[in-house]
Chains A and B, each alone.
Chain A
Amino acid sequence: MSKKRFTLPNWAAYLINAALFAAFIIGGNAVLSSGALPSFITKVAMLIGIQVIAAVSLNISTGYLGQLPLGHAGFMAVGAYASAIFMTRTGIPAQLAFPLGIVIGAAVAGLFGVLIGIPALRLKGDYLAIITLGFGEIIRVVLLNIDSVLGFKLTNGAAGLQGIPKTTTFVNAWLMVGLTCFLIHTFMKSRHGRAVLSIRENEIAAESCGINITYYKTLAFSLSAAFAGAAGALYAGYLGILNPSNFGFMKSIEILVMVVLGGMGSMAGSIVAAIVLTAAPEALRAFDDYRMIVYSLLLIATMIFKPSGLLGRYDFSMKRIIEKCVNGELFASFRRGRGKGAEEA
């Protein structure tokens, strides 16, 4: 090929992506608020946004860092409770308290990520899985019982924290999705992100190259926790009531299923899987009894036949697609069978 290959400058790529995302938010909001669709679709759309954030955040520690934490729902719970307590106990008007609440939820969850990550990340593999599971359960037990121990009303225990302003909307949920994806994407493209990836590939080799393993593991883990906290804060604003039982082990598994099916290490995969697995039960209510069985079989079959998940480590890139279009390579790559993947995200 003698012709110089066309490449899209980075600023143009960001601009195009931002424009497409803005069009998605504005268009989506216009369609949903026009009343053409039943209002429960709006609810499901918000829920999908929350699940996408949860899945994408778990993907940092599972996909990029290569660890398997099983207490992700615990971080969601921390974020949800932190922001809900902030919103209900301070007199700040809900419109202002909500964004602040998300930040606080993410910050507190991130802090918990650091506190739990430092001891837990000394372990590997199965031990890490079980210890994070243990921490997740402890968080739930504490939320359930802390009131009766300390003797004041903080989390309301099993009665649930009620009266949280329902401030989550389609627009702010999906803006948060966009922000999360953008931040994670830029983090992973940075020097720090590459350090995290190198730990996944070979911990000992990474360490001998001078990468501070403990620092980067904790960083990635707490980042993962912080975004889970943000998802929790949105969840609190979505439901208006919080109960520790909503953040049990099953919730952690649900998020894990999304990440594994989508492909560990693929953000696009996590997003597609989160959308499908949240929308599908609503669409297929008749098959509800079999849903969990299908999930578990999919999990096993994926591991046996395609351990990398649906998209593997493939990530969707608008920039690459445009470049390929201009260079006339789009179909060539499909013919070589490398370009498979959904056009979502």
Chain B
Amino acid sequence: MKRVFAMVMAVVMAAVMFAGCSAGGNNNASNNSGSGDTIKVGLLGPHSGEYAVYGLGVRNGAELYFKKVNEAGGINGKQIELVVYDNKGDDTEAVTAFTRMVDEGVTALVGDVLTGNTLAVVGEANAVNMPMITPSATAAAVTVKEDGTVYSNVFRTCFIDPFQGEKMAAFAAEVLGVKTAAVFAQTGNDYAQGLADAFKAKCAELGVEIVAEEGYAKGDVDYKSQLTNIAAKNPEVVFCPNYYEDDGLIVTQARQVGVTGTFLGGDGWSGVKNYASADVLEGSYYCSGYAPASTDAVKQFEEEFVAAYGKDTLNMFAATAYDAAMIMCAALEKAEETGYAPASEEYKQAVIDAIRTEGPNVKGITSEGGYTFDEYNNPIKDAVIIKVTGGEEVFDRMF
């Protein structure tokens, strides 16, 4: 039995090795073909694992637009060929997958999705001057190097972290008219801390007093101890800039231990309605890059998306990815006019230039005013304030 098992294991391992070699060979063969009549665009993100819902949202949103362009005849008569890779939310996998894309002759990239993975990819992408638009990586460092220079090839269609914190502080002070606030953010999480820091700074500026500041660690499910401390200070608003799964539990437990203030959040709140009851969430606000069902264009996008992929991955990431695809197509259209071959150095530079020049004309579903990029390649666009009421997340106002 043992001998047999060892033999079987050896055979399996050997088979895997040979499969590896032959798979490598196939890729090699496909390298040099097919760059003439198609334009290859990469889609990179976590399509499996813990963060799959973000990655699949991005993949589906972008794919939806690219497919529409292809059905309408493509770009300058060329079809867009999508090269999709799953990075499993892992930095190492992200770099390997990106290198594979470069090997396969990809011209432009929509992605990466998670901030950490994107940071691992931008260095590689900058080295080959690959135009890339990330629909979801919000850290300021994604487009700016350590030494302060800008990655000229990297753009995004989402907000950066500090922007949302400032917006919510201003909203609390100017619209809700509060005087006291508390902050409850996940420590060791770049996104949550970025929002929290900006919120606190803006509050100080606007004369809102931060009466309590608590944190929790990744993976925690019991927040009552910290929330008990917050309840003791009785703040008018609690800024809770975390991801929706945690936020739902936090708000529920906060009500249990007697926190009465209004909850405010960032775009990570999107989808929170499924994670807490309507009662406890009633009257909470968060800011978002995407206002569901707010305009006809958005409604049309939602209908098409649901028809193609169902409701599970229809989120903000899908919407910003749809816009990223839209900008990318406009830029490719422009680059085609230069007459260079896709994936050539000149072509890629033309795409990068065109993202800047064409962006403002792109009427995206999350930015009707078009995408104007500032000096750090971040989009200038308004925040959407979403109110949770009656168990639904509804568009409240632009702010």
Contact = CB atoms under 8 A, between A and B. Distances in A.
Q: In their complex, do chains A and B touch, with some C-beta pair under 8 Å?
A: yes
Nearest to A279: B20
Contacts of A96: none
Looking at B9, B14, B187, the one whose CB has the most chain A CB atoms below 10 A away is B9
A282 interface: yes
Interface string A189-210: 0000000000000000000000
Interface string B74-110: 0000000000011010111001100110111000000
Interface of A: 36-41, 43-44, 47, 141, 144-145, 148, 157-160, 162-163, 166, 238-241, 243-246, 261, 272, 275-276, 279-280, 282-285, 288-289, 298, 301-302, 305-306, 310, 337, 340, 342
Nearest to B16: A280
20 contacts: A37-B28, A40-B99, A40-B102, A43-B99, A47-B92, A158-B190, A163-B146, A241-B91, A261-B9, A282-B23, A284-B19, A284-B20, A284-B23, A288-B48, A305-B1, A306-B5, A306-B6, A310-B10, A337-B3, A342-B10
Chain A contact surface mostly: helix
Chain B contact surface mostly: helix
A51 to B, nearest CB: 10
B361 interface: no
A38 B5 CA distance: 35
Contacts of B193: 157-158
User: 7 smallest A-B Cβ distances: which pairs?
Assistant: A283-B20, A163-B146, A38-B103, A305-B5, A40-B99, A144-B188, A40-B100
Interface size class of B (residues with CB under 8 A): 35 or more
A232 B9 CA distance: 30
B212 interface: no
A246 B119 CA distance: 13
B189 A243 contact: no
Contacts of B7: 340
Given A145-B188, A272-B13, A283-B23, A310 B103 contact: no
A241 B2 contact: no
Nearest to B189: A158
Given A239-B91, A246-B92, A279-B17, A40 B5 contact: no
A242 to B, nearest CB: 9
A40 B98 CA distance: 8
A246 B91 contact: yes
